[in-house]
Amino acid sequence: MGDILNIPDKLFEKIVDAERAAVLTGAGVSAESGVPTFRGENGLWRNRRPEELASMEGFLDDPRLVWDWYDWRRSVISQIQPNPGHYALAEFDCVYDQFTLITQNVDGLHALAGARDPVELHGNIWHVRCLKEGTVRENREVPLSRIPPLCPDCNSMLRPNIVWFGEELDTDILKRAGLAAKESEVFFVVGTSSVVQPAASLAGLAQRNGAIVVEINLDRTPITESADLFLQGKSGEILPALLRMIVQARGYDDCG
């Protein structure tokens, strides 16, 4: 059954028979769309200290520099499309009775590919937050007409509504992700270096609660050793192949 991807029969059966599944995605899923990853050879953090551009201290020190960087990332993201990996994950929702898509990505590409209600652990690059009032609103202006942008209500500075280094994740969002991990029978970890907490702990949480962990990545990561299955390669190729295999094994015509 699971031979196209060389998946041992026992594990493939578990993947096919599961009713509850969840996935954690990272920057690697968007790499084939043209969104740079953070770490690795051409990663965004290659020549930068993350704290300079993605922390409150860095922002207060130089809001213009930080906003210039986000303005550039927003312009890159505005010009690209989801890839077959995003589309396959959106369809996992119809394969499993209960499916939760958890992402560290802020690019919004999962929703654009049709994913229902993705759990965005680190926020969304198209949302801005007023530094004074804390109000969050959508802002899709590319490029921004004023840097740093100002709150239309109180004229205070706006910041990207993104979880920066040293900041806590939203409690409700983290709870949703934790619950999905605990309840899942299969937990997929795709395109993440699994070094940033608390996201990186979700696979272990799922596994301790009985799930099998399936990792899809170009390279090995700190969780590869403990994963039940490691599928090495591009998520844009492996996810659609895996989806086809599951759909076929379940005897569905398609997932539309």
Q: What amino acid is encoded at 80 in this protein?
A: I
Interactions with ligand OAD, residue window 51-70 (CB under 6 A): 54
Residues binding ligand OAD: what is the number (CB under 6 A)?
27
Burial class (CB in 10 A: 0-12, 13-18, 19+), 182: middle
Q: Which of 193, 223, 196 is nearest to 37 (CA)?
A: 193
- Angle at CA 84, nearest 5°, toward 160 and 245? 130
Q: Give the interface segment with ligand OAD, choosing from 7-15, 177-185, 212-220, 246-254 (CB under 6 A).
A: 212-220
Please state the separation of Cα 190 from the chain's center in Å. 8
**Is 39 among the residues that bind ligand OAD (CB under 6 A)?**
yes
Interface mask (CB under 6 A) for ligand OAD, residues 150-189, using x and -? -------------xx-------------------------
Question: Which CB atom, from 9 or from 167, has the smaller least distance to ligand OAD?
Answer: 167
- Say which amino acid occupies 168: E
Which 111-150 residues touch ligand OAD, going by CB under 6 A?
A: 122
Counts of helices then strands in the chain (DSSP H, E): 10, 9
Residues involved in catalysis: 122
Question: Which residues of this protein are in contact with ligand OAD, per CB under 6 A?
Answer: 26-28, 31-32, 37-40, 43, 50, 54, 104, 122, 163-164, 191-193, 196, 217-219, 221, 234-236
